[in-house]
Chain A
């Protein structure tokens, strides 16, 4: 069961939400509704679910409703309609006391501008959540210290937030959230206020922390690179709607619409797209069962000049070229083993394709993709890597055929004559 589930969530800001709903049902856009009724559609029928220990990123342009969605998860903003289930419990149906308990125990939030209490020390800030729940002083300080240690702030306990840099302040924000021991972390543009270098560093540290803590994280950003780096899955929002949910790779390789495509076109795809997305099936021959004739037939079917030789456990042993196979047939030999060559490269399915570029340019043979058991999962060749990379090229920057160019140049010249 998902730890967090959002079902058909709506938020309409303004004086007359019901009028907005009538228009929404007729398919009116956010803009039309604002013009006609004065209501702003913050969230429009958003549904998604987040698995335990997943990092779920919500991404979208400014005003697309990201902050509104994350604030509905702990009811900082009251949804107009819909359900938010946490551990299967609808927070919309909770009593005041239950809601307070959920906020104290299950969800903690990290804010864009840090939102630290200026009159409290770093330690005082870190223990703030526990203090609200009435945890005895010694226990809460101990837990706060532990959280501060996790974010690398040991030794800064007695400083005040105003004495720290932005990155350090946000670590305090993170420690404050962790000290409560919540299952779910809500992070609204938590790193957006930091300068780029610190930001990258914080992303790395969050990933490291997540590897050991295994929290469920809802992370909001409008930065695609950040989303791709941190997210296990990404939801893309537009005008209050969730337009696509998928893994970083799915978002990049199969954008749901023009909006998403526009979003992803400037990404460095070589770092995100993995081998598994572009590999294809390879012709194989069972080394100890099949002979050169079978190998030749398969190569001819696939229009390939090599074939991959597997042992009885389907582990890759090497390749056989069509020339060698033909020679064996001429020499009337049945055993393929003597001609198996192992001068090829291998890789794994989850390698980013950027890592393959150098090798692919050097060798003429496709690179074999092996799964964790050494079995052949497929092959990747130079053409498919380049093909994938060229998908997002800007049309206007592409090379132009010389013939076209000459023709273009000659047209005005003729007029002049």
Chain B
């Protein structure tokens, strides 16, 4: 009986048909996306790995010092140097390139959607449940469609990551704009703002700290997802962790784990500081 029902419904079969149809008919589109994402990814990888690691370590430390203070500056200097000594520099930069690529694309999509959701209650009502749904799914689930449409490799890794890390960018952009005080909006209007001036000279700058908090969350989600994406051959530190697990190389797994933690702390502290720009301590 159950067996019969199962063959009748054949959910897996139907799904395959839909996917096949999509890949057959939108092949060009998926190829274009793949090319584009790949191009962005490769350029970031190039930029990050082109200078000598010492130079990059110095630059990261300087950035951390400038944005987050002396403590994080020293931590970054020592931590990044350790990564280099352990021999993980290249894979760490690969991971960073994956994160940056995913986050850039996530923001290019997420911020405008967030603005739309802030401006239109209808858009908010549509976007909100979609975001809620996206955030209830476990991270692994995003790997399946990414692999189906883009096979294995870095590009599906980026796609899965950007989808996974998109929600906070949308949410906090919308929230930030909706939270702009009514009087500031009135002031902008009363001094003769066009809708464009309202957005770019009042709403977005006033909402910026909140949007930046969203950017921080997006980056941290992206980092965690990029590691998981090692399972589909995205490369970077995720691959090393996976190797450590599957081949029972405890040392390798531990060292790549330390590299991830160092990168995570660096990214978190530096982007957190963006949410507290100078001058408005309010």
Q: Which residues of A contact B202 (CB under 8 A)?
A: 117
Q: Which residues of B contact A104 (CB under 8 A)?
A: 191-192
Interface string of B178-190 (1 = CB under 8 A from A): 0001011011011
Contact present for A108 and B282 (CB under 8 Å): no
Smallest CB gap from B187: residue in A: A115
Contact present for A119 and B191 (CB under 8 Å): no
Smallest CB gap from B277: residue in A: A119
Contact present for A133 and B183 (CB under 8 Å): no
Given contacts A129-B191, A180-B191, contact A111 B186 (CB under 8 A): yes
B135, CB-defined interface residue at 8 Å: no
The A-contacting residues of B in range 146-190, CB under 8 angstroms, are 181, 183-184, 186-187, 189-190
A216, CB-defined interface residue at 8 Å: no
Q: How large is the interface on B (under 10, 10 to 19, 20 to 34, 35 or more residues)?
A: 20 to 34
Chain B proximity of A192: nearest CB distance (Å): 13
Separation of A161 and B279 alpha carbons in the complex (Å)? 8
Interface string of B97-116 (1 = CB under 8 A from A): 00000000000000000000
Contact present for B280 and A119 (CB under 8 Å): yes
The B-contacting residues of A in range 112-143, CB under 8 angstroms, are 112-121, 128-129, 131-133
Contact present for B282 and A119 (CB under 8 Å): no
Q: Which residues of B contact A107 (CB under 8 A)?
A: 190
Separation of A162 and B181 alpha carbons in the complex (Å)? 15
CB-contact partner of B191 in A112, A113, A121, A132, under 8 A: A132
Q: How large is the interface on A (under 10, 10 to 19, 20 to 34, 35 or more residues)?
A: 20 to 34
Contact present for B186 and A100 (CB under 8 Å): no
Contact present for B280 and A74 (CB under 8 Å): no
Contact present for A117 and B191 (CB under 8 Å): no
Contact present for A121 and B279 (CB under 8 Å): yes
B82, CB-defined interface residue at 8 Å: no
B208, CB-defined interface residue at 8 Å: yes
Contact present for A118 and B206 (CB under 8 Å): yes
B224, CB-defined interface residue at 8 Å: no
Chain A proximity of B268: nearest CB distance (Å): 23
Contact present for B206 and A119 (CB under 8 Å): yes
Given contacts A112-B183, A119-B279, contact A132 B206 (CB under 8 A): no
Contact present for B192 and A113 (CB under 8 Å): no
Separation of A110 and B242 alpha carbons in the complex (Å)? 62
Contact present for B192 and A115 (CB under 8 Å): no
CB-contact partner of B184 in A109, A115, A163, under 8 A: A115
Q: Which residues of B contact A160 (CB under 8 A)?
A: 279-280
Separation of A120 and B278 alpha carbons in the complex (Å)? 11
Chain A proximity of B275: nearest CB distance (Å): 13
Separation of A273 and B96 alpha carbons in the complex (Å)? 76
Contact present for B201 and A131 (CB under 8 Å): yes
Chain B proximity of A161: nearest CB distance (Å): 8
Interface string of A329-356 (1 = CB under 8 A from B): 0000000000000000000000000000
Q: Which residues of B contact A112 (CB under 8 A)?
A: 183
Contact present for A162 and B191 (CB under 8 Å): no
Given contacts A118-B280, A121-B279, A132-B197, contact A108 B184 (CB under 8 A): no
Contact present for B205 and A117 (CB under 8 Å): yes
B273, CB-defined interface residue at 8 Å: no
Q: Which residues of B contact A128 (CB under 8 A)?
A: 191, 201
Q: Which residues of B contact A382 (CB under 8 A)?
A: none
A280, CB-defined interface residue at 8 Å: no
Contact present for B281 and A132 (CB under 8 Å): no
Separation of A316 and B151 alpha carbons in the complex (Å)? 108
B49, CB-defined interface residue at 8 Å: no
Contact present for A74 and B190 (CB under 8 Å): yes
Separation of A71 and B183 alpha carbons in the complex (Å)? 12
Chain A proximity of B111: nearest CB distance (Å): 17
Contact present for B205 and A100 (CB under 8 Å): no
Contact present for A115 and B191 (CB under 8 Å): no
Smallest CB gap from A100: residue in B: B192
Separation of A121 and B280 alpha carbons in the complex (Å)? 10
CB-contact partner of A111 in B187, B194, B282, under 8 A: B187
B193, CB-defined interface residue at 8 Å: yes
Contact present for B192 and A129 (CB under 8 Å): yes
Smallest CB gap from A118: residue in B: B280
The A-contacting residues of B in range 116-170, CB under 8 angstroms, are none
Q: Which residues of B contact A111 (CB under 8 A)?
A: 183, 186-187
A76, CB-defined interface residue at 8 Å: yes
Chain A proximity of B51: nearest CB distance (Å): 33
Separation of A103 and B183 alpha carbons in the complex (Å)? 16
Contact present for B186 and A119 (CB under 8 Å): no
Smallest CB gap from A186: residue in B: B190
Contact present for B192 and A132 (CB under 8 Å): yes
Separation of A117 and B201 alpha carbons in the complex (Å)? 9
CB-contact partner of A108 in B190, B194, B205, under 8 A: B190
Q: Which residues of A contact B194 (CB under 8 A)?
A: 100
Q: Which residues of A contact B190 (CB under 8 A)?
A: 74, 76, 103, 107-109, 186
From B181, B183, B191, residue with most partner A Cβ within 10 Å: B191
The A-contacting residues of B in range 223-282, CB under 8 angstroms, are 277, 279-282
Q: A108-B190, A117-B205, A132-B197 given. 17 additional CB < 8 A pairs?
A: A76-B186, A76-B190, A100-B194, A103-B191, A114-B183, A116-B184, A117-B202, A117-B206, A119-B205, A119-B208, A119-B277, A119-B279, A119-B280, A132-B201, A162-B279, A176-B191, A180-B191
24 residue pairs bridging A and B, Cβ less than 8 Å apart: A76-B189, A104-B192, A108-B190, A109-B187, A111-B186, A112-B183, A113-B183, A115-B183, A115-B186, A115-B187, A117-B202, A117-B205, A118-B280, A119-B205, A119-B206, A119-B279, A128-B201, A132-B191, A132-B192, A132-B193, A160-B280, A161-B280, A162-B280, A186-B190
Cβ-closest 10 pairs across A and B:
A104-B192, A115-B183, A160-B279, A103-B192, A115-B187, A129-B191, A109-B190, A118-B280, A119-B205, A162-B282
